[in-house]
Amino acid sequence: MKTSALSAPPLHSPANDGDDQAQRAAELAALHRAADAGEAAAGWVRELAGRQVEEEHGRLLERVAEAIVKASSREIIPGSDGLLTEELRYTLAADVVLGSSHTTGTLPELHPGERMPLIAVCAIAATFPSCVLGDLARELEVLAAEMEAATDAGRACAETLAE
C-alpha cells in the first residue's frame, strides 16, 4: 500500500527551525566553553612542566598540555564515532602523574594535592570527544565545569604553598 504524499510528514518543518537554531547555538556555546576549559587546563599543565628539573618530565607534561587542547577542541567532531586517537588516549592516560619515571627513576615534581587534579583534567579531556554520541551541549557543559574545577584545585595547591 502506498502512502499518499499528503499524509506523509514534511521532511522539513519551519516550526522546527527555531528549535534547531537554539540547539545549534547551545552546542556552539558548549564547544567554546570546552575549548576554553581545555586551554586553561593546558596552561596549568604547562606551569607544571616549567617547574620540572628533569627535562623528560617537562617534555611529557608539555605533550599532555597539547593533548588536552586537542581533545577539548579539534577532537570534538559532531557526527564522528566519538573516539580519541590512540596517541591522545595514551598521552592522556592517568599514568601521566608518573611522568617519565621509567627512564628517570624519579616522579615529576608536583606539590601535594596536584596529582589528583592532573588525573582529573586528563580523564575529562579524554571524555570530551565522546559527548558527540549523546547530548553534546549538556554533556560538554557539565564536563567543562568539572575541568575548570579540577584546574582551579590544581592551581590552588601551588598558591597555598606559596603563601
29 assigned to some structural domain: no
147 assigned to some structural domain: yes
For the cut 60, the answer to whether the pLDDT of residue 9 exceeds it is no
pTM summary value: 0.85
The C-alpha atoms of residue 132 and residue 140 are separated, in whole angstroms, by 9
76 by Cβ neighbours in 10 Å (0-12 / 13-18 / 19+) ranks as: buried
88 assigned to some structural domain: yes
122 assigned to some structural domain: yes
> How many domains are contained in the chain?
1
For 74, the domain range is: 44-162
22 assigned to some structural domain: no
The C-alpha atoms of residue 147 and residue 117 are separated, in whole angstroms, by 9
Q: What is the pLDDT of residues 124-153, one digit of tens each?
A: 999 999 999 999 999 999 999 999 999 999
Q: What is the pLDDT of residues 35-54, one digit of tens each?
A: 999 999 999 999 999 999 99
